Chain A
Amino acid sequence: MDLLAQYVMNGVMLGLMYALVALGFTLFFGVLDVVQFAHGDVVTAGAFAGLATYAGLVLAGVESAVPQLVLVVIAATLSMAVLGAVLGRVLVLPLKGAPPLNVLLATLMGGTALRECIRLFYPGGSQPQRFPALLPSASWSMGHFTLRLDNVLMIVAGGVLVLGLSLVLRRTRLGLEIRAVAQDEETARTMGIDFRRVVLLTFAIGSALAAFAGVMHGLYYNEINFGSGLLLGVIGFSAAVLGGLGSFGGAVLGGFLFAGLQTLGAVALPFASAYKDVFAFTVVILLMTWKPTGLIGEQLGERV
């Protein structure tokens, strides 16, 4: 029972992280019909930006955890919002008319460049970096299961973020513009919506979410690695695809679904929990074979 609770806790944390990444993918696909494959590396970059901020704060003499945490999160999300907009402006928008595989390739390579920059230029970047524990370490024991306050805080924060995004999309003018562009670019333009502004803001928002996920990742595992973004990106993309690219609810569902698959894999194959990724990706491939455009698929139509 306690083991189950532990797994559930794990699963929810990971699911939320994956959902945040998947939301980025689905937003970008919604507004531009594009897969931005550097997104996973933006997650890592966000974590490193947070780490660098922390190092700076320590040097500046900021000792207390609360301002550290707040500033780290702000710095990470803001810097990645900017990076995301830049990536959109430089890599994605110029390739708007090109065959979709070109954008996939360009962003894959862009992600590689980003990853390599972290590895080469961040001091000690090629080694895993310790991420500071900025959240309170209180915990409650319930039998063999330990409920940690930091995990609860992260889950709550992540949940608030997802809900917040949902509200932004459904209640604000920006959200309306984003949905309009996602629905039909041409009509949106004729209605006077500034297409480029909306696209760049969408990239900024999606990348800010990624940064948050990166900081979460660092706080949860207490370490970050320049290469972790790659796997996270593929997982986030898989999650978004499973839920149906372009669907908000689908991305969240997909994130939790993938986390669930990993947990299931770890439980079902106790002799090697490392096989959980093999298991999860195999299921993804099988699901995509069954439903090529996701469980809540995108409707592909072709005018003949």
Chain B
Amino acid sequence: MVSGTAQLLVCRGLTRQFGGVVALSGLDLELRRGELLGLIGPNGSGKTTFFNVLTGLFPPTRGEIVFDGAPLAGARPQEIHRAGITRTFQRSRLCLDLSIFDNLAIGAHQRLDHRMVFNVLRRHDLAREADATAAAATELLEIFDPPLARRLFEPMTGVAMIDRRRVEICRALMSRPRLLLLDEPSAGMTGEETTRLMDDLLEVRRRFGDLTIVLIEHEMSVIQRVTERCVVLNYGKKLCEGTFAEVSADPEVRRAYLGLA
């Protein structure tokens, strides 16, 4: 048993059922502080459901979640965000009617002053807070793509798909989370774009030292390159965990993924 302080997240027996469908079944998972964990498995194996349960979109049917010593199972998404967990979505969920800045400001919501009096009457202070937020947004975007950072106030509609994914990741980073959940961030990207994205992600990790990341990916080369450890899911259950080399050699994993006998 590892001592409590190194464990950022502990999930025990996490189960989620939708009617007759068991999307997650008795999942035990632990995350060490600062690690980059890969979460892999065939389609429908429960990876996104795990994220959804973790971020409070669905309460677990059974099981517990302990984040940094505090129980989180069944908490509302807003409370979970406050605790320091943020995410991106498999199907990009950005507000296309808004500007890049507005979308990033949504990510920073909890750190901004929302009082009516402040926003309506103290306009100078509001302007200064907006400037500070814009500066933080620019700093984040520049890690991924400096030209994108210069388009901060443009509407999202004019932004290309790959940039949208970058904006989505930055939105999740605006609140300086402790745990970042990335759901197939490189979907739809070319190999080169993916490599670049992962480089940028590692740079983010270097800058924000205590950031822990869980990465859902289908690209095995990415998992192999950036993750320190991975967990394989199948039919909602944990099949195996270890380094990429270890899990890719596991016969059960090979059977689940490649259908080999």
Contact = CB atoms under 8 A, between A and B. Distances in A.
Interface string A268-304: 0000000000000000000000000000000000011
A303 B90 CA distance: 10
Nearest to A299: B19
Interface residues of B, number: 6
Nearest to A303: B91
A301 to B, nearest CB: 9
Contacts of B48: 304
A303 B91 CA distance: 9
Nearest to B183: A304
The B contact surface, by secondary structure, is loop
The A contact surface, by secondary structure, is loop
Interface residues of A, number: 2
B211 interface: no
Nearest to A301: B18
Nearest to B89: A304
Contacts of B91: 303
B195 interface: no
Interface in B33-66: 48, 52, 57
Contacts of B89: 304
B95 to A, nearest CB: 14
A304 B90 CA distance: 8
Nearest to B49: A304
A303 B48 CA distance: 10
A146 B89 CA distance: 66
A303 B52 CA distance: 10
Contacts of B90: 304
A299 to B, nearest CB: 9
Interface in B101-124: none
A205 B18 CA distance: 36
A298 to B, nearest CB: 15
A304 B58 CA distance: 10
A235 to B, nearest CB: 33
B21 to A, nearest CB: 12
A303 B57 CA distance: 11
Nearest to A302: B57
Contacts of A303: 91
Interface string B72-112: 00000000000000000111000000000000000000000
A304 B57 CA distance: 9
B177 to A, nearest CB: 19
B187 to A, nearest CB: 15
B159 to A, nearest CB: 22
Interface in B166-201: none
A151 B91 CA distance: 57
Interface in A73-115: none
A304 to B, nearest CB: 5
Contacts of A304: 48, 52, 57, 89-90
B133 to A, nearest CB: 27
Nearest to B18: A301
Contacts of B52: 304
B59 to A, nearest CB: 14
A304 B183 CA distance: 11
A303 B18 CA distance: 12
A303 B58 CA distance: 12
A304 B18 CA distance: 14
B117 to A, nearest CB: 32
A139 to B, nearest CB: 53
A101 to B, nearest CB: 15
Interface of A: 303-304
6 contacts: A303-B91, A304-B48, A304-B52, A304-B57, A304-B89, A304-B90
5 tightest A-B CB contacts, nearest first = A304-B52, A304-B57, A304-B89, A304-B48, A303-B91
